[in-house]
């Protein structure tokens, strides 16, 4: 009976314990999560969820915390943080390292360090972008990229408001040593990090879409004019260039009425040919126009008839002599 009473008492205590609020999901390269942590092993990847009261140690690289309201926290290692959430307000205790928060304007968040507390302040309900860092020697750095940051000293209660775009560092115990330090407080992991222990979901095969049928656009053919110096050949003759556009034939198939793919501009080939024409060559003598005489057509006909009449025909003896000359391979007599 005593054992049963003890089990019942533990069950009642567990039933009355308040449920821990979920802070968010964390992914990283080399980190250790302890305390209130829930790990779920899936088919493709494992998910680590941080609850209120959890602690995270980033050994090297960085870790990214996705909060439940959509905000993101990047922790650049080596770093150690503790998380506590109550009523939607998040408290982050920073022991070492740097934290880069891209915070929604409605998220109440406070970053505690051993020296001071940092509270991001929003302007015009805009998103806040803040980096808070603490090195192993206890020096505090601050970068308010978007929005302002209110610093409050843990012991003296002194307050300082760092405006937007301010980059400050605190090396001493008081705010008197607060100085500007550009490009000193940074925590910017790669945009698309490859996280250890997380498998990428299987990629789907690219969907093939039917290309829209449209009339092919004619390629643009440009012809440039040739300077006058290039139009003169080696012989001093003037030449004219010719531009020829070589394109694929335009065809149509009645069995396949769909239009072909548009002709690419590089298919059209521009070639320039230069042809040199030979010069005209004249030979002989041309008489001046004043010395030329014009003979009537009737006189030319009369002179032709008289020349034919005066022409002597060979006799019988001459023809017989020429016959035997041709028979024996001799030259006939005219």
The full 3-state SS of 36-72, as one line of letters, equals: CEEEEECCCCEEEEEECCCEEEEEEEEEEEEECCCCE
Closest among 150, 334, 221 to 325, alpha carbons compared: 334
**Average pLDDT in the chain:** 74
DSSP sequence for 74-137: EEEEEEEEEEEEETTEEEEEEEEEEEEEEE-TT--EEEE-SSEEEEEE-STT--EEEEEEE-TT
What is the rounded average pLDDT of the residues 215-220?
50
Q: How far apart are CA 253 and CA 217, in angstroms?
A: 19
Query: Which CATH architecture group holds 19-180?
Result: Sandwich (2.60)
Q: Where are the domains of the chain?
A: 19-180
- Residue found by looking up tokens 């533990």 in the block: 10
Tokens of 34: 């302890």
Confidence of residue 320 (pLDDT cuts 50, 70, 90): confident
What is the rounded average pLDDT of the residues 154-175?
87
The proportion of the chain whose per-residue pLDDT surpasses 90, expressed as a percent, equals 35
The DSSP 8-state label assigned to residue 7 in this structure reads: H
Residue 69 pLDDT: 92
Residue 278 pLDDT > 80: no
The answer to whether the beta carbons of residues 168 and 176 sit under 8 Å apart is no
- Full-model pTM: 0.53
The answer to whether the beta carbons of residues 119 and 136 sit under 8 Å apart is no
Tokens of 275: 């042809």
Residue 174 pLDDT: 78
Residues 6+ apart with CB under 8 A from 32: 56, 57, 59
The DSSP 8-state label assigned to residue 290 in this structure reads: G
Residue 226 pLDDT > 50: no
């Amino acid at each position: 009976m005593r054992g049963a009473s003890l089990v019942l008492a533990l069950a009642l205590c567990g039933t009355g314990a308040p449920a821990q609020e979920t802070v968010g999901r964390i992914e990283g390269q080399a980190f250790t999560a302890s305390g209130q942590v829930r790990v779920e092993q899936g088919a493709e990847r494992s998910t680590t969820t941080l609850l209120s009261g959890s602690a995270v140690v980033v050994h090297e690289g960085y870790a990214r915390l996705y909060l439940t309201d959509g905000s993101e926290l990047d922790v650049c290692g080596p770093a150690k943080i503790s998380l506590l959430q109550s009523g939607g307000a998040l408290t982050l205790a920073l022991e070492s390292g740097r934290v880069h928060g891209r915070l929604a304007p409605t998220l109440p968040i406070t970053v505690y360090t051993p020296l001071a507390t940092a509270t991001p302040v929003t302007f015009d309900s805009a998103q806040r972008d803040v980096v808070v860092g603490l090195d192993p020697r206890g020096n505090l750095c601050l970068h308010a990229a978007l929005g302002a940051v209110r610093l409050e000293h843990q012991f003296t209660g002194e307050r300082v408001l760092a405006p937007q775009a301010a980059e400050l560092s605190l090396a001493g115990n008081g705010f008197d040593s607060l100085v500007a330090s550009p490009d000193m407080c940074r925590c910017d992991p790669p945009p698309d990090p490859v996280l250890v222990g997380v498998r990428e979901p299987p990629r789907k095969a690219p969907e093939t879409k039917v290309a829209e049928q449209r009339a092919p656009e004619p390629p643009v053919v440009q012809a440039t004019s040739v300077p006058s110096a290039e139009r003169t050949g080696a012989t001093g003759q003037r030449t004219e260039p010719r531009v020829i556009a070589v394109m694929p034939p335009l065809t149509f198939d009645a069995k396949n009425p769909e239009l072909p793919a548009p002709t690419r501009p590089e298919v059209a080939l521009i070639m320039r040919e230069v042809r040199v024409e030979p010069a005209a060559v004249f030979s002989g003598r041309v008489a001046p126009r004043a010395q030329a005489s014009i003979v009537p057509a009737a006189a030319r006909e009369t002179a032709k008839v008289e020349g034919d009449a005066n022409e002597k025909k060979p006799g019988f003896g001459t023809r017989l002599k020429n016959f035997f000359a041709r028979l024996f391979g001799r030259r006939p007599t005219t």
